[in-house]
């Protein structure tokens, strides 16, 4: 054979090989030997082949289906599946033949969420014993690879494995214990698909079409898009290499010193924002779409920590994701069960400590009540104050399984939930709370009286309340301090240690709040000197609400469209009510420092307001001891800005200390940042009105007068949570 003949032969061989490759039927990774196929359904089965190729799929249980591959090369058909059982063989015949062996028919559950769903068996309680005992050949496990994508992916990687000690140790603990509980109760094969990624938000798991009208999703996506426009990979690589070198040096020093203290933190490379797993829709595209529309029984969800900062949106976001998943799976309203976040962070000291975590728990509870075919596992008793990843995943899985057994499988004898409040009836000075008890009468854990119930009176005062069980599903709540009840709380804090309302099966009650905070007319505390002033803005500084990437503030009243400058006077009034009902207030009027009505409110970024200057002819009226009242022609100043700041006395204000007080330094490189809205009387060496950390919500800084314990201007006090409510009014005299 000469050189030309050899070359011709090689080209022909390559072309022939390419033709065979194109003709080969290919299946997505979710279909392989050892899988569980959903029982008793017409299960979608799909793959790729040569256009016009006839594909036949046959189950050894006696059912088959066929299809001709369309022009785009992707085929999909439906195959009737058998009752629970197996092992079976699934054969796919085109121009080539694929046999999937050891296939079981049973129930398939998707396990999704962030790190607490991804948390593995080997890192959970009793790991050694649990792993050694994990021999369940009828439980099968599949892990979807972590993958981000701006566009929907058609495939993933991974294999189905029988549940063995080797396979289970790196699998989702919550998912495994859920599946194990189902298997033990039902004795049917269980397939578990783990598609989870630590530290991720719900927006990443939801199709954009389902969330494009949700403010939190819009804000998150816009933020990433803005950063993407200015992203420079070369610059970021240079920064990373510099940080890595510093880290290596510090690590060497740390080791040389005997590894005392915490190890230096390894730097992370700042990836392109569109490649971030938290970019909205990235994980839906990369980790949900590749397994669609694989037939499933339902889904479990353990996520929320990454969305705690936007808790008020989570109720809508969770329903949006559930609805979207049901739509793309085309399996009707399949069940979705989720984990209510557990107790976490510093143990609570007050009867009510409103913050993002209790609000997020409420979002889960309301979703479970209001969205069909959903349910919630309550975990208020198994969290850890200093660990966002509590290791007790056995109870998490068991409680999810209880909900599924009752709601999906009709096991009515199962105690399926801990107490969830249904309604509240006010009878005189008592609140009668009726609960869904889950099929087991209410009980107290331990011998102590019920803890963590609280009441709010007609003046907005919050007090710890007495509570007692009066029936299998009722609790009576009262306090001698409250004659007229306006609100009822239970376990409303990040970490209400010792919550003890349970049912007799030992399952804990869900936190809840009922009622509305009575309207507070803080204007009743305005001094006579405020007469004739017009209200421009009003908001609550103890629970400020920022929008549009923290650029705007949500006012309770905004009359700025009706009021224009020039002004004779500008005035600020702050009133704060503590949890005992005590009210502090301060009123400060001054000569105008601007005639722009947009710049006299809270100095958030959208206002364009940044003022660090003296003000003249100030009138101060306050009931706070130590605040100097009277008229001050000079000696007062304001520090209004949206950015970060330091304690250095950049503008050389007399008597400023170099601490955070009435002479600070703006750090304009980050905007929006911490934020400062402060009025001072530096001549008297004191602050008058302070509102900082605009995005802090219930952790904002608020204060009237000079802070006696921390920074004089209340910076870093995070004390808004210690107040029951507050009011800030911005007024002008025309």
pLDDT per residue as tens digits for the range 57-70: 999 999 999 999 99
327: Cα within 13 Å, side-chain hemisphere = 10
Cβ atoms of 88 and 103 within 8 Å: the answer is yes
Residue 13 pLDDT exceeds 80: no
Residue 40 pLDDT exceeds 80: yes
pLDDT per residue as tens digits for the range 361-405: 999 999 999 999 999 999 999 999 999 999 999 999 999 999 999
CA distances to 17, 156, 294 from 195, in Å: 36, 11, 13
Indicate the pTM of the whole model.
0.86
Gap between the Cα atoms of 171 and 159, Å rounded: 13
Residue 7 pLDDT exceeds 90: no
Residue 177 pLDDT exceeds 90: yes
**Strand-strand pairing, 644-646 and 665-667:** antiparallel
The whole-number pLDDT of residue 16 equals 36
The whole-number pLDDT of residue 23 equals 62
Structural domains of the chain in order of their starting residue, each with its CATH number: 107-231+272-414 (3.40.50.1110), 420-515 (2.60.40), 522-733 (no CATH)
pLDDT per residue as tens digits for the range 241-282: 999 999 999 999 999 999 988 899 999 999 999 999 999 999
Residue 317's H or E segment, with its range, is helix 311-329
Residue 309 pLDDT exceeds 90: no
**Residue 416: CB partners within 8 Å, gap ≥ 6?**
375, 402, 403, 405, 406, 407, 438, 439
Cβ atoms of 618 and 632 within 8 Å: the answer is yes
Spatial CA neighbour of 115 closest among 192, 41, 194, 183: 194
Average pLDDT, the chain: 95
Residue 2 pLDDT exceeds 70: no
Return the CA Rg of the chain: 31
Burial class (CB in 10 A: 0-12, 13-18, 19+), 198: middle
Cβ atoms of 586 and 714 within 8 Å: the answer is no
The whole-number pLDDT of residue 548 equals 85
User: What DSSP designation does 285 have?
Assistant: I
């Amino acid at each position: 054979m000469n050189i030309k003949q050899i070359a011709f032969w090689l080209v022909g061989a390559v072309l022939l090989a390419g033709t065979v490759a194109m003709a080969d039927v290919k299946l997505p990774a979710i279909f392989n030997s050892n899988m569980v196929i959903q029982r008793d359904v017409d299960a979608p089965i799909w793959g790729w082949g040569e256009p016009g190729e006839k594909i036949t799929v046959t189950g050894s249980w006696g059912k088959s289906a066929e299809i001709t591959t369309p022009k785009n090369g992707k085929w999909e058909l439906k195959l009737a599946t058998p009752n629970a059982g197996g092992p079976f063989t699934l054969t796919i015949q085109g121009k080539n033949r694929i046999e999937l062996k050891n296939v079981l028919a049973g129930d398939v559950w998707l396990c999704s969420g962030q790190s607490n769903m991804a948390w593995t068996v080997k890192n959970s309680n009793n790991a050694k014993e649990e792993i050694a005992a994990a021999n369940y050949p009828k439980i099968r496990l599949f892990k979807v690879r972590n993958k981000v994508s701006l566009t929907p992916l058609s495939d993933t990687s991974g294999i189905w494995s029988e549940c063995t000690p080797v396979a289970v140790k790196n699998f989702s603990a919550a998912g495994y214990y859920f599946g194990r509980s189902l298997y033990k109760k039902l004795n049917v094969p269980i397939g578990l698909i783990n598609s989870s990624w630590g530290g991720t938000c719900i927006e990443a798991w939801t199709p954009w079409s389902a969330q494009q009208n949700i403010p939190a999703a819009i804000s998150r996506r816009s933020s990433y898009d803005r950063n993407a426009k200015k992203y420079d990979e070369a610059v970021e690589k240079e920064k990373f290499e510099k940080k890595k070198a510093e880290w290596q040096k510090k690590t060497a020093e740390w080791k040389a010193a005997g590894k005392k203290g915490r190890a230096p933190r390894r730097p992370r490379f700042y990836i392109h924002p569109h490649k971030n797993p938290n970019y909205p829709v990235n994980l839906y595209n990369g980790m949900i779409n590749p397994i669609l529309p694989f037939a499933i029984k339902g889904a479990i969800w353990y996520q929320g920590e990454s969305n705690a900062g936007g808790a008020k949106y989570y109720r809508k976001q969770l329903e949006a994701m559930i609805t979207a998943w049901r739509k793309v799976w085309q399996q009707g309203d399949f069940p979705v069960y989720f984990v209510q976040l557990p107790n976490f962070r510093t143990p609570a000291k007050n009867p009510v400590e409103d913050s993002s975590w209790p609000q997020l728990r409420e979002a889960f509870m309301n979703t479970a009540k209001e969205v069909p075919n959903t349910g919630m596992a309550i975990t208020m008793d198994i969290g850890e104050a200093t660990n966002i990843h509590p290791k007790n995943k056995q109870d998490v899985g068991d409680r999810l399984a209880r909900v599924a057994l009752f709601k999906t499988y009709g096991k009515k004898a199962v105690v399926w939930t801990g107490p969830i409040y249904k309604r509240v009836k006010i009878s005189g000075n008592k609140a009668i709370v009726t609960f869904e008890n889950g099929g087991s009468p209410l009980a107290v854990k331990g011998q102590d009286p019920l803890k963590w119930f609280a009441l709010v009176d007609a003046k907005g005062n919050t007090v710890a309340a007495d509570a007692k069980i009066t029936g299998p599903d009722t609790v009576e709540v009262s306090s001698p301090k409250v004659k007229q009840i306006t609100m009822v709380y239970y376990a409303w804090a990040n970490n209400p240690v010792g919550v003890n309302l349970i049912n007799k099966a030992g399952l804990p009650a869900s936190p809840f709040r009922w009622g509305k905070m009575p309207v507070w007319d803080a204007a009743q505390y305005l001094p006579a000197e405020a007469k004739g002033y017009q209200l421009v803005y009003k908001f609550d500084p103890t629970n400020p609400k920022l929008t549009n990437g923290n650029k705007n503030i949500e006012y309770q009243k905004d009359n700025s469209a009706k009021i224009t400058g020039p002004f004779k006077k500008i005035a600020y009034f702050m009133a704060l009510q503590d949890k005992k009902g005590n009210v502090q207030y301060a009123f400060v009027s001054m000569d105008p420092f601007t005639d722009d009505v947009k710049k006299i409110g809270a100095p958030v970024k959208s206002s364009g307001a940044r003022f660090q200057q003296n003000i003249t002819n100030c009138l101060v009226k306050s009931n706070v001891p130590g605040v100097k009242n009277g008229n001050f022609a000079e000696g007062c100043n304001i520090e209004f800005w949206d950015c970060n700041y330091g304690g250095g006395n950049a503008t050389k204000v007399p008597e400023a200390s170099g601490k955070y007080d009435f002479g600070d330094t703006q750090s304009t490189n980050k905007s929006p940042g911490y934020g400062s809205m402060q009025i001072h009387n530096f001549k008297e060496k004191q602050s008058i009105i302070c509102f900082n950390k605009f995005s802090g919500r219930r952790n904002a800084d608020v204060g009237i007068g000079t802070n006696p314990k921390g920074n004089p201007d209340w910076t870093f006090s995070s004390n808004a949570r210690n107040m029951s409510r507050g009011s800030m009014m911005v007024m002008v005299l025309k």
